[in-house]
Structure 1
């Protein structure tokens, strides 16, 4: 499964050139507590030129983003990876926000994503 991330500027939410984020398949309100019916762990690889300071997810179609997923003070440097976990099976929008203010967004299936390449 491949997903395209859209680049957004955080200040004023002005659209920037599209930025690709690839999800590769595998065999203000928190998420509801649900038992996953599959492995919802995945790796996010920072293939941008800037450190990634925040990652959020939300169920597809929802307005509110879930809690920050990296952990307090964690930064994913260019070329590095982070192990992340989605709260349950289903389709999610995932947003990675760089320290430079750019946001990268993609839609992934929690049961299918193994590697999310942020670029």
Structure 2
């Protein structure tokens, strides 16, 4: 897993310092509009790759670690079961009437459904 993380890090983060070195060397050169467009494109691409690096850690863990997948599945299933058992609570906003008084607020709550969590498989 460390090898996968290291390779993804190198692929996504190494182009940005390379671009910084290139732009520092060529800052005094006169460039055509095509060359400026290519430089801007490469700059945008390297920044995007660097930003992608921050989100890939989650996917690397999901794809390579069995314990992480098991815990993630357990968390998602428990959240879904909690919603199924207890439902949602809806509280509408306070309404103002034309004469400036505050109207009544009704709270709508669903009754919890009976759940048998032990019979569910994870």
TM-score bracket for the superposition, by shorter chain length: under 0.3
TM-score (norm 1): 0.16
Determine which structure has the larger strand proportion and give its number: 1
Q: Of the two structures, which has the highest relative contact order with CA contacts closer than 8 Å and spacing of 6 or more?
A: 1
TM-score normalised by the chain length of structure 2: 0.16
